[in-house]
């Protein structure tokens, strides 16, 4: 574990003072040993400052001062509080012995929160990933209804967890409890990965779905100046749009159940990516895809337990795609949806949600540990449990 330089210097000075005064047997009044104790519990930010109605335009430091975030930053960039270091609350040590930090020998704790989580495969995927990089860790599935989110965050923060994943319906509400938000998560307007700083207890949110979506696309499939059709306007659609826009797709045709309800989202993306066209359509209208290079299904249509066996577009509409087109279904269960089967029947290139799920989990572990887990090990664990 990397220890803050300022704290380390304080530790060295304290140790020297302790050695000089050892004959007097006087314990230090303040110091590094106080870090053995958890900082005072942070109050849940259930009511953010009224002047910041858009949670996604600011990130909050521990003193609740808003810091503006600009969307022109790199998708992998971050924004921090203007203060160099969040103050560490110290208290008189209960022992005169300075603790030895051997974080690498501890079992790290991670979790998934959301509701419901009865069929989650995250545990087997992450356990395989941790094993592949030699990290001793546990990964717990913690069903968390929205009304229990505040208590769950306090529990994770105060019980030695290094980080956690977030799934529906908590990807937006969890922002109320975060101290910092990664720029890419700010664009997507959803959080799926959180880190907990072991010293400051600061919570930082990320979205790894963007990276996961992008890495699953074949490297030899060009995206620059292409046209993309997105079916759906939920969180998966936001991740797909964010990645494709970063690769300078020239136009999006976005199909939704209710155009009026997604106008705000469309306008947001237009402002964020002013050089790209965003055009909404009613999802049940006939679709001419003859000018589309990549078709993305970001709806649950075809998912096991939610419309399995159905397809989000008609066969005659799918066949209007040009022969070079790529069909991407973010659904991973079943591995081959009817949309993927139909696309393969007509010899289109296809991508299913399995690789996206594994890649986003890999990115989360990289954020948590600084190490890149093995893709194959994680994918095998996923397929064995599907």
Cα(18)–Cα(11) distance, integer angstroms:
10
Helix H, strand E, coil C: the string for the chain is: CCCCHHHHHHHHHHHHHHHHCHHHCCCCCCCHHHHHCCCCCCCCCCCCCCCCCCHHHEEECCCCCEEECCCCCCCCCCCCCCCCCCCCCCCCCCCCCCCCCCHHHCCEEEEEEECCCCCCCHHHHHHHHHHHCCCCEEEEEEECCHHHHHHHHHHHHHCCEEEEEECCCCCCHHHHHCCEECHHHHHHCCCCEEEECCCCCCEEEECCHHHHHHHCCCCCCCCCCCEEEEECCCHHHHHHHHHHHHCCCCEEEEEECCHHHHHHHHHHHHHHCCCCEEEEEECCCCCCCCCCCEEEECCCCCECCECCCCCCCCHHHHCCCCCCCEEEECCCCCCCCHHHHHHHHCCCEEECHHHHHHHHHHHHHHHHHCCCCCHHHHHHHHHHHC
- Is 171 in the active site? yes
Instruction: Give the torsion through C-alpha atoms of 283, 360, 158, 32, to 10 deg.
Output: -140
Catalytic one among 108, 171, 204, 226? Answer: 171
Task: Quote the CA–CA distance of 248 and 228 in Å, as a whole number.
Answer: 11
Nearest to 279, CA basis, from 267, 290, 271: 267
CA distance 302 to 353: 12
Which are the catalytic amino acids? Answer: 171
């Amino acid at each position: 574990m990397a220890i803050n330089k300022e704290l380390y210097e304080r530790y060295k000075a304290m140790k020297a003072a302790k050695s000089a005064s050892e004959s007097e047997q006087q314990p230090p009044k303040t110091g590094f040993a106080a870090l053995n104790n958890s900082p005072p519990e942070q109050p849940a930010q259930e009511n953010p400052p009224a002047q910041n109605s858009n949670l996604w335009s600011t990130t909050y430091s521990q003193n609740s001062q808003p810091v503006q975030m600009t969307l022109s930053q790199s998708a992998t960039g971050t924004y921090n509080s203007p203060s160099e270091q969040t103050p560490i609350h110290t208290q008189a040590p209960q022992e005169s012995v300075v603790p030895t930090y051997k974080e690498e020998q501890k079992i790290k704790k991670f979790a998934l929160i959301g509701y419901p989580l009865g069929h989650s495969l995250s545990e087997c995927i992450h356990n395989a990933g941790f094993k592949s990089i030699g990290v001793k860790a546990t990964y717990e599935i913690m069903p968390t209804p929205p009304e229990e989110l505040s208590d769950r965050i306090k529990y994770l923060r105060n019980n030695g967890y290094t980080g956690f994943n977030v799934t529906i319906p908590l990807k937006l509400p969890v922002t109320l409890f975060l101290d910092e938000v990664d720029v890419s998560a700010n664009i997507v307007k959803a959080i799926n990965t959180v880190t907990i700083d072991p010293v400051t207890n600061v919570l930082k949110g990320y979205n790894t779905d963007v990276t996961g979506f992008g890495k699953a696309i074949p490297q030899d499939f060009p995206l620059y100046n292409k046209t993309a059709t997105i079916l759906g306007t939920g969180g998966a659609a936001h991740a797909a749009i964010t990645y494709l826009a970063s690769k300078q797709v020239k136009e999006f045709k976005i199909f939704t159940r209710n155009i009026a309800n997604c106008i705000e989202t469309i306008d947001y993306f237009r402002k964020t990516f002013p050089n790209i066209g965003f055009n909404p359509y009613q999802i049940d209208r006939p679709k001419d895809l003859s000018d589309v290079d990549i078709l993305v299904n970001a709806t649950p249509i075809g998912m096991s337990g939610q419309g399995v066996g159905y397809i989000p577009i008609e066969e005659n509409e799918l066949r209007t795609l040009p022969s070079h087109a790529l069909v991407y279904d973010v659904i991973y269960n079943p591995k081959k949806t009817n949309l993927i089967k139909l696309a393969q029947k007509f010899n289109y290139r296809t991508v299913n949600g399995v690789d996206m799920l594994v890649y986003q989990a890999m990115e989360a572990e990289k954020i948590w540990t600084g190490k890149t887990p093995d893709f194959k090990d994680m994918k095998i664990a996923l397929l064995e449990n599907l």
